[in-house]
């Protein structure tokens, strides 16, 4: 075997192994669906993370994981359930109280796509029009199972508490994860990374 063959062959085998690994890994994608920051926004510094995905246990896991991903010397991130209590209800009253008591400048809100139901209040906006400050969405307080080996799309939105406007939103997709815990871990990592990429937090 020539020197060239001995050099190139291992490199080819390594490349093929990496390609096989990538091909077998379940794909994850992020699509930004809304970006309209307040004109005077200089990056949020004190955010509350609210999740209504899955069971209350998985919601707590998601909030803790995303808080850990976002917190830094300049950023204070807080899980909603640590402010409101275990099995927290998402209501406008609870949210306003949390913001007033803790001085949050932004709400990072995550739900499963399609989790809200238009038929429960026909005039209430849902989907991309969902308004966290304008309406109560009582159905978001129900436990929702996340089945393994499914395509699951999360919707994450950031609201400014000063203007109460939605300033950013993404849809993030996970496919064929082995458990709800793995879905949550994967999603929180993707969402946290995208928030940083889009420079929504103080730097």
pLDDT in the model for residue 192 = 96
**What is the Cα–Cα distance from 188 to 194, expressed in whole angstroms?**
10
Tens of pLDDT along the chain (203 residues)? 443 444 344 333 333 333 333 333 344 689 999 999 877 778 999 999 999 998 999 999 999 999 999 999 999 999 999 999 988 999 999 999 999 999 999 999 999 999 999 999 989 999 999 999 999 999 999 988 776 557 889 999 999 999 999 999 999 998 877 788 888 899 999 999 999 999 999 98
**What is the Cα–Cα distance from 165 to 161, expressed in whole angstroms?**
7
pTM of the model: 0.84
pLDDT in the model for residue 139 = 95
**Torsion on CA atoms 169, 39, 136, 105, rounded to nearest 10:** 90
**What is the Cα–Cα distance from 163 to 114, expressed in whole angstroms?**
26
- Which stretch of DSSP H or E encloses residue 60? helix 56-70
Radius of gyration of the chain (CA): 20
Sheet containing 166-175: order of strands: 28-35, 166-175, 151-160, 106-112, 46-51, 76-79
pLDDT in the model for residue 28 = 61
**What is the Cα–Cα distance from 192 to 68, expressed in whole angstroms?**
9
- Sign of the Cα torsion 202, 97, 167, 49 reads positive
**What is the Cα–Cα distance from 188 to 68, expressed in whole angstroms?**
10
**What is the Cα–Cα distance from 68 to 61, expressed in whole angstroms?**
11
């Amino acid at each position: 075997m020539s020197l060239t063959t001995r050099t190139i062959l291992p490199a080819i085998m390594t490349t093929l192994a990496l390609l096989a690994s990538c091909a077998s890994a379940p794909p994850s994608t992020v699509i930004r669906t809304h970006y309209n920051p307040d004109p005077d926004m200089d990056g949020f510094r004190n955010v509350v993370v609210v999740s209504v995905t899955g069971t209350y246990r998985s919601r707590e896991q998601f909030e803790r994981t995303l808080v850990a991903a976002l917190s830094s010397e300049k950023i204070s991130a807080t899980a909603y359930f640590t402010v409101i209590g275990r099995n927290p209800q998402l209501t406008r009253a609870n949210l306003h109280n949390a913001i007033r008591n803790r001085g949050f400048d932004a709400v990072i809100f995550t739900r499963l796509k399609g989790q809200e139901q238009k038929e429960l209040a026909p005039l209430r906006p849902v989907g991309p029009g969902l308004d966290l400050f304008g309406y109560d969405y009582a159905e978001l307080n129900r436990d929702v199972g996340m089945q393994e080996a499914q395509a699951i799309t999360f919707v994450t939105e950031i609201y400014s508490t000063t203007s109460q406007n939605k300033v950013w939103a993404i849809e993030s997709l996970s496919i064929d994860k082995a458990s709800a815990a793995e879905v949550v871990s994967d999603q929180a990592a993707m969402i946290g990374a995208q928030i940083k990429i889009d420079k929504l937090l103080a730097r």
